[in-house]
Structure 1
Amino acid sequence: MGGSTLFGTRPQQSAGGLFGSTAGMGNTLNASTMPSSSLLGSRTALTPAQQQADSQTQALQLQQKIEAIFHAWNPASPQCRFQYYFYNLVNPNQVSLYSRPANSKNDALWEKAVRENPDPSCHVPVLAVGFDDLRTRVEAQNKKSEEHQQHLENVKTRLESLTTQHTLSNSSRLLRAAVAQTQLTQKLLKFVQHLHLLIPSVRSSSIRPEEEQLRSILEEVEDELRRGRMKGKLNELWALLGAVNAAKERARTGTGEWAVVDEDGLTHLTQILSEQQAGLAHLTKILQKAMKDVGIIVGTNTNSAEPEYEVDNLLSSTNTLRASALR
Structure 2
Amino acid sequence: MSTYVPCGGPDCLCLCPGIDPALWEQGKRENPDPQKFFPVVKVGFQELQKQFKQQEEHAGSLQASMNTTQEEITQLRHKHTMVKAAIQEAKWKQANLTRRVLKLVSAQEIERKRGVPLDQTEEQIRMRLEDLYMQLMQPTQYRGCLNELMAQMCVRPASSQGGPRYGLVGDMEGDVSQYVAWQHDALQAVVGVLREDLSVADTMAEEVLRKP
**TM-score (normalised: structure 2):** 0.41
Give the number of the structure whose residues are more often helix, by fraction.
Answer: 2
**TM-score (normalised: structure 1):** 0.28
Instruction: Say which structure, 1 or 2, has more relative contact order (CA 8 Å, 6+ apart).
Output: 2
Structure ID, larger Rg: 1
